[in-house]
């Protein structure tokens, strides 16, 4: 699997609070988008997983630290690294950067569930293989 995946977002007005800085909860959205783009880069499409495998990803836990602020029009570079790939879950380490400034870090655990029952299930075999290789 690639050691680090990188994806960039632009901060829009809708991402900011009354003080003109990125509202803290929006970092979770940015991190989610980076995970989705990582999956796409591997050829994994979540709608196909849902339709063909009845598999969905759900966030089990997220721990976020906020270190500095991003502002309107900033480019924020998001990185992710898979810390652990389990039978039915993936543990991510994620970061948000503005240039050389680390803005936020997150540790996110995502589980795979059966879309009908919402009970844990193994990652589909083809998905797990793609997550392990370049």
List the catalytic residues: 17
Question: Using an 8 Å Cβ cutoff, are 15 and 26 in contact?
Answer: yes
The Cα–Cα gap between 43 and 122 comes to 19
DSSP 8-state symbol, 53: I
Question: Using an 8 Å Cβ cutoff, are 58 and 111 in contact?
Answer: yes
């Amino acid at each position: 699997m690639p050691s680090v995946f990188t994806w960039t977002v632009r901060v829009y007005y809708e991402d900011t609070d009354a003080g003109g800085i990125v509202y803290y909860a929006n970092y979770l959205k940015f991190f989610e988008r980076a995970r989705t783009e990582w999956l796409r880069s591997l050829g994994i499409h979540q709608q196909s997983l849902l339709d063909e495998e009845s598999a969905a990803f759900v966030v089990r836990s997220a721990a976020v630290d906020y270190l500095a602020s991003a502002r309107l029009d900033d480019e924020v570079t998001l990185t992710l690294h898979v810390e652990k790939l389990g039978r039915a879950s993936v543990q991510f380490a994620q970061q948000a950067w503005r240039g050389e400034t680390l803005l936020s870090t997150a540790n996110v655990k995502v589980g795979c569930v059966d879309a009908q029952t919402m009970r844990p299930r193994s990652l589909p075999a083809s998905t797990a293989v793609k997550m392990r290789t370049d």
